């Protein structure tokens, strides 16, 4: 859900060469809590163009430490590959670890999952909602990058609804069913059955 009372600000940008291609990294800050977020842009577009985007919430374990307990790292890589193959696009990287509960609480949730809780039950057992993420800053990010019409790479319909509430024209959704492992199969089933994600169930077995 968007929060109209929070103040977001663009800070700076720089070239960012990656193993996928040459991106530009754009830094933003949520002035209500000093949380920092980034966008990666690739290529050029007109304001009338439909731009492929991915909204990706930070996952240290999956994105940087190569965990197969979730599909986050797989989705991040696939999104960057898709953007480069398309010739243009944007990845919004939001600092919302563990669906908004933070890194250390996520580790606590992982410990509960080791004991048999699913990902939703673990968050709720710790006293959190299943998903605390806020997508408000996406409006500032996309406006700064002059993106008005998007094709969003996601399995999460909440992201579509959040963008539309903020006045972003979501032209279409592209699924990003990528990275099924034995370690994350139950996790993905839970996201599909309890959180409304549209993951292809045939891939989950």
Q: Which residues are catalytic?
A: 131, 133
Q: Where are the beta strands (DSSP E) in the chain?
A: 8-17, 22-30, 35-42, 50-57, 89-94, 149-153, 169-174
What are the backbone angles phi and psi of residue 124, rounded to the nearest 5°?
A: -70, -35
Half-sphere exposure for 99 (CA within 13 Å, toward CB) = 18
Structure tokens belonging to residue 3:
């929060």
Longest dimension (CA), the chain: 51
* Cβ atoms of 11 and 28 closer than 8 Å: yes
Element of type H or E holding 187: helix 185-194
Q: Match 């960057």 to its residue by tokens.
A: 80
Residue 47 assigned as binding residue: no
**Both tokens assigned to 5:** 């009372």
Q: Please check if 174 is assigned to a binding site.
A: no
Is position 164 annotated in a ligand binding site?
Answer: no
Q: Is 138 annotated to bind ligand?
A: no
Q: Is 6 labelled a binding residue?
A: no
Question: At a CB cut-off of 8 Å and minimum separation 6, what does 53 contact?
Answer: 89, 90, 91, 92, 142, 147, 150, 151, 152, 153
Q: Which residue matches tokens 């577009």?
A: 45
Known binding-site residues for GTP equal 54-58, 75, 97-99, 119, 154, 159
Known binding-site residues for Zn(2+) equal 59, 70, 72
Known binding-site residues equal 54-59, 70, 72, 75, 97-99, 119, 154, 159
């Amino acid at each position: 859900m968007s929060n109209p009372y929070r103040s977001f600000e663009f800070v700076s940008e720089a070239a960012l060469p990656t193993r996928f291609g040459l991106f530009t990294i754009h830094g933003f800050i949520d002035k209500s809590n000093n949380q920092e977020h980034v966008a990666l842009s690739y290529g050029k577009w007109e304001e009338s163009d439909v731009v492929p985007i991915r909204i990706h919430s930070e996952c240290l374990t999956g994105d940087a430490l190569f965990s197969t307990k979730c599909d986050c790292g797989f989705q991040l890589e696939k999104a960057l590959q898709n953007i480069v193959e398309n010739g243009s696009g944007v990845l919004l990287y939001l600092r919302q670890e563990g669906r908004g509960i933070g890194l250390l609480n996520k580790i606590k949730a992982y410990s509960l999952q080791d004991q048999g809780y699913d990902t939703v039950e673990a968050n709720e057992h710790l006293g959190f909602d299943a998903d605390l993420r806020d997508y408000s800053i996406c409006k500032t990010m996309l406006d700064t990058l002059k993106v008005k019409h998007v094709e969003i790479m996601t399995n999460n319909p909440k992201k579509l609804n959040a963008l539309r509430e903020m006045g972003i024209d979501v032209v279409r959704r592209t699924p990003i069913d990528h990275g099924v492992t034995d370690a994350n199969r139950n996790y993905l089933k839970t996201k599909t059955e309890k959180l409304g994600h549209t993951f292809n169930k045939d891939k989950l077995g």
